[in-house]
Amino acid sequence: MILLNPGPVSLSPRVRAALGRANWCHREPEFAELTRGLNRRLSGIHAALAEDYESVLLSGSGTAAVEAMLASFAPDSETTLVLANGVYGERMAAMLAAHGKPHEVLEGPWIAGPDLAAVEALLDRSPAITHLAAVHHETTTGRLTDLGQLGKLCRRRGIQLLLDAVSSFGAEAIEGATWSLKALAATANKCLHGAPGASFVLASHEAWCGPAQRAGSVYLDLRRYHETQRSSGYSPFTQAIPAFFALDEALAELTAAGGWISRQAQYRERVAVVESVLTSLGVTRLLPVEEGSCVLQSYRLPASITYETLHDRLKAAGFVIYAGQGGLAQEVFRLSFMGEIAAADLQRLCTALREVIAGA
């Protein structure tokens, strides 16, 4: 089965084989060494982060990493402004509420990006806002947030950015100080092509050394992880060891393939191949090309077919696609271009799309 859902992704044979690499104990030095090496490599993937940001690894899905980031770095006595233009922005607001952290939410329509003028107006009105929580790639629609603009605004106003980069890390450009980035959260099993179970948070040296916030959680308190992972590589709790093995191989494959820029180019090629077929079938994108990521696209469902039929027929042909969420559930379908997808599989997908959509 080829997975075209936004994570977990189809694994390469080498990454899948790594899941069964060995019986290791997380309290032994070989695992500590693996953890240290992974953290080093994760902070080196995006050059702008290599010097000034440190990674810690935890076990859990991308949501665990986002929640750990907010629990550990969103302030207790100042306010975090959350930009919510989709499911994942809304989820960050829910996390801050669950952790009892002061926050405001700027909601916007899902098919539009964050309204920068509204952000400025809120910052003018609420001097207590010192942090901004945003989603880099809002997987709900496939929108890539314009962090060039938003980051500049943060820097100019001294606002620290907490970024959900779960579905962009490893495939879209990421800047550090230029965006006033305090921390970002990401996962092994999206653009890095690893297995589910390992996720991580990169934060600046100052963020790790700055005053600790009340994490409101034992398991998600990143400072505990940082203290031991940075010194010795050990983790406070049992890690998802097979997922760490898989990430090790996945990062080796990413490096061998030429890093994140090559991965972005690869995704763009895949999008171009599939989209030429969809266009010929009259299927259109939800968002303009320049507003979308390279990772995932939302397409308007043709009137001739329901999502369920499209999904089931494509699944029978060996491909798992993804539904729209919320109000978009009956309007769009989503295709993600991450993971191991051979050229021949992509051609089979094109054939299946032609048969299913043209035949509907």
Whichever of 176 and 194 has its CB closer to ligand PLP, that residue is 194
**325 lies in the site for ligand PLP, by CB under 6 A:** no
Q: Which residue is closest to ligand PLP by CB?
A: 62
Among 105, 135, 144, 349, binds ligand PLP (CB under 6 A): 135
**217 lies in the site for ligand PLP, by CB under 6 A:** no
Stretch that binds ligand PLP, among 61-69, 238-246, 258-266, 270-278 (CB under 6 A): 61-69
**292 lies in the site for ligand PLP, by CB under 6 A:** no
Among 4, 6, 322, 349, binds ligand PLP (CB under 6 A): 6
Touching ligand PLP, residues 73-132 (CB under 6 A): 88
57 backbone dihedrals φ, ψ, rounded to 5°: -100, 140
- If phi over 0 gives left and psi between -120 and 50 gives alpha, with beta otherwise, what is residue 170? left
Rounded least distance, CB 6 to ligand PLP, Å = 5
**166 lies in the site for ligand PLP, by CB under 6 A:** yes
Touching ligand PLP, residues 136-155 (CB under 6 A): 137, 139
Rounded least distance, CB 175 to ligand PLP, Å = 18
**298 lies in the site for ligand PLP, by CB under 6 A:** no
**5 lies in the site for ligand PLP, by CB under 6 A:** no
CB contact at 8 A, 81 and 119? yes
**67 lies in the site for ligand PLP, by CB under 6 A:** no
Among 167, 235, 298, 336, binds ligand PLP (CB under 6 A): 167
**63 lies in the site for ligand PLP, by CB under 6 A:** yes
Among 18, 57, 66, 277, binds ligand PLP (CB under 6 A): 66
Rounded least distance, CB 240 to ligand PLP, Å = 13
| Number of residues near ligand PLP (by CB under 6 A) | 14
Q: Which spans of this chain sit near ligand PLP (rule: CB under 6 A)? A: 6-7, 61-63, 66, 88, 135, 137, 139, 164, 166-167, 187
